[in-house]
Amino acid sequence: MAFWLMKSEPDVWSWAQQVKKGIEPWTGVRNHQAAKNLRTMAVGDKAFFYHSNDGREIVGIVSIVKKAYTDPSDETGKFVCVDVKAEKPMPKPVTLAQVKADAKLKDMALIKLSRLSVQPVSEAEWKHICKLGGL
């Protein structure tokens, strides 16, 4: 099982909406590196749900319930989406400031590749963030 981090602007798609909906296609990715990560995902993989821009914190965990398929919102048919399911919220959301301040997390793509919206997370980083988040 692999771990990921997926960004969403809460104005567009928030954690609260994800929880209410349960399962939702993760559409709108138009970046090749992010799309490559989507294609690498397997059913059962887990991902942090991160609020970019407004919030800048990891607010919950989702799981991948359907592997990559053609994004219905993409007219060119080149990009893909996956279906994600809300698993559980972070008891204590982990902020970007916390991630930046933590020596164990300083190499995360979240910091180094700040514009990448779908990114891999190592198992060590995953466990550490879960601990910080109160899980």
Partner DNA sequence: GCCAACGTTGGC
Residues of the shown chain interacting with DNA in the complex, contacts defined by CB under 7 A: 7, 9, 30-33, 52-53, 56, 96-97, 100, 110, 113-117
CA atoms within 13 A on the CB side of 106: 4
Nearest approach, Cβ of residue 130 and DNA (Å): 20
Q: In terms of CB distance, is 65 or 96 closer to DNA?
A: 96
Q: In terms of CB distance, is 1 or 111 closer to DNA?
A: 111
Nearest approach, Cβ of residue 106 and DNA (Å): 12
Q: Phi then psi for 48, rounded to 5 degrees?
A: -75, 140
Q: In terms of CB distance, is 88 or 100 closer to DNA?
A: 100
